[in-house]
Structure 1
Amino acid sequence: MKLQDSVIAITGGGQGLGRAMAELLASRGARLALIDRVPETLEEAAEACKKAGSDAKTYVCNVVEEGEVETTFAAIVKDFGQLNGLINNAGIVRDGLMVKAKEGRVEKRMELDHWQSVLDVNLTGVFLCGREAATQMIETGSQGVIINIASISRAGNMGQSNYSAAKAGVSALVPVWAKELARYGIRCMGIAPGFLRTEMTASMKPEALEKMKASIPLKRLGEPEEIAATAAFILENDYMSGRIIEVDGALRL
């Protein structure tokens, strides 16, 4: 797929990894539909995309609300006339051990709300947005690509029962959708990032951050721009479908 003038929707597009992907794609001529819950960060991201040389529109949407998702994707097609790509990037974390015990007594357990909220956003939100993007692509005759942002935590990361389960589900959707949607000219791929330099890692204690870096064979965190470059590679390669690309500095959980 040629990025020039293609229309790419990005959930969680107002900040962090989503914004990095948006800016890189904008610099290559793609038009961006940025989806997020915070209007202020969305507007800042849209301005950055315009400075990068392309058009961008913003859509405030909670990806766990079916009606909002349907309305948002209908609005994207109305505004741009087509939809060529979706990057399912929106996600949250609510880390914690399933159970934490001391001297044979359980002191803390993962709250059901923390489990459910992560599954809602990180998995159900991906399903809802993927389903609606596919619907719009088919009905407008726009061949396209869906990219699910997974994580190396999909293999199971201590303290992330909820996040690991959600990302494993997101990864499983990739080959399913690739097989189901190929007949309509729609590809599906996934990216599983390792530890990235983000606002979250920047707030970590220096000793914890150094320990994290030491566990990575390349001895550094990944850059959001490196994930963005991977997304662009997937979008432009028309024979890639049904696979997960791991971008993790050789770290394997």
Structure 2
Amino acid sequence: MDIQGKVVAITGGGRGIGRSIAVYLANRGAKLAVLDLDDEAMAETVALVAEAGSEARAYNCNVADEETVVNTFNAIVADFGAIHGVVNNAGILRDAQLIKVKDGKVVKKMSADHYSLVVDVHMKGAFLCAREAAAHMVELGVEEGVIVNMSSIAYHGNFGQTNYSAAKAGIVAQSRVWAKELGKYNIRSMAIAPGTIETELLRSMPEDALNMIAGAVPLKRIGDVSNIAQTVVQIFENDYLSGDVIEVSGGMGL
């Protein structure tokens, strides 16, 4: 896909990986619909897109709420006149062990509410946004559409992340299903599985902890948000990528 002039929606676009993706796509001429719950952060992303010479609009959207997602994508199409891609990047963490045991007694359990919340934001959110984007692509008759779904190497299974790992594995499965179902409309679906990437949360950690995390990566360094943005651009521009997952982890998935 030639990104120039294409309209791309990015969930979780207010900061971090989502913001980096928005700016990378803007530098190639894409128009961005930035979805998030943080209006101030979205305004900063919109300003950065403008500095890159492109156009962006902000949409306050809870991706786990069906009515909100439907209305948001209707608004995007009304504002831009089209939609050609969506990057499902929104996510949250509610980490805990399935059970925590002390002196032979179970002292804590993972909350069912926290399990559902993480699955809803990651997996249901990606489902709703992909569904609405694909529906508009088909009805508008776009020549080519792209759905990028942000998974994580946690889809292999991470200690203390039953909910997150399950959601990220589900995202990979959904993405592969959509590639099979939507290919006949020339809509491609891919997943990206980042490893340890430097974000605001990671930067807030003590230096010793960061060094330990970096030491666990075969490349001995933490990834940058730009590494993920570069992969998103690769997926958009390579029109034979569909139905697979690209791990961007510095070798951690090996």
Q: 1:136-185 CA deviation, whole Å, 9 max, x = no partner? A: 11111112100000000000000100000000000101110000001111
1:56 alignment partner AA: A
TM-score, normalization by structure 1? 0.98
The Cα RMSD (Å) is 0.9
| C-alpha distance in structure 2 between counterparts of 1:99 and 1:163, whole Å | 15
The equivalences for 1:82-231 within 5 A come to 82-142=82-142, 143-231=144-232
| Superposition deviation, residue 224 in structure 1 | 0.3
The Cα shift of 1:114 comes to 1.1
Paired residue secondary structure (2:166): helix
Q: Gapped runs of 5+ residues in structure 1?
A: none
Measure the CA separation in 2 of the matches of 1:245 and 1:23: 21
Partner SS, residue 64 of structure 1: coil
Q: Identify unmatched segments of 5+ residues in structure 2.
A: none
Q: Indicate the SS of the match to 2:100.
A: strand
Deviation at 1:126, TM superposition (A): 0.7
Letter in 2 for 1:240: L
In the alignment, the residues of structure 2 paired with residue 9 and residue 66 of structure 1 have an alpha-carbon distance, to the nearest angstrom, of 16
C-alpha separation in 1, matches of 2:122 and 2:209? 25
1:28-58 CA-to-partner distances (Å, cap 9, x unmatched) read 1101010111111111100100101101111
SS where residue 94 of structure 1 aligns?
coil
| Alignment TM-score, normalising by the size of structure 2 | 0.98
Q: Hey, what does 1:246 align to over in structure 2?
A: 247
Figure out how many residues of one structure are paired with residues of the other and give that number.
253
Matches of 1:214 and 1:6 in 2, distance apart?
40
The answer to whether the Cα contact below 8 Å between 2:148 and 2:189 also exists between their aligned partners in 1 is yes
Contact 2:247 2:253 in 1 (8 A): no
Separation in structure 1 between the aligned mates of residue 97 and residue 201 of structure 2, nearest angstrom: 19
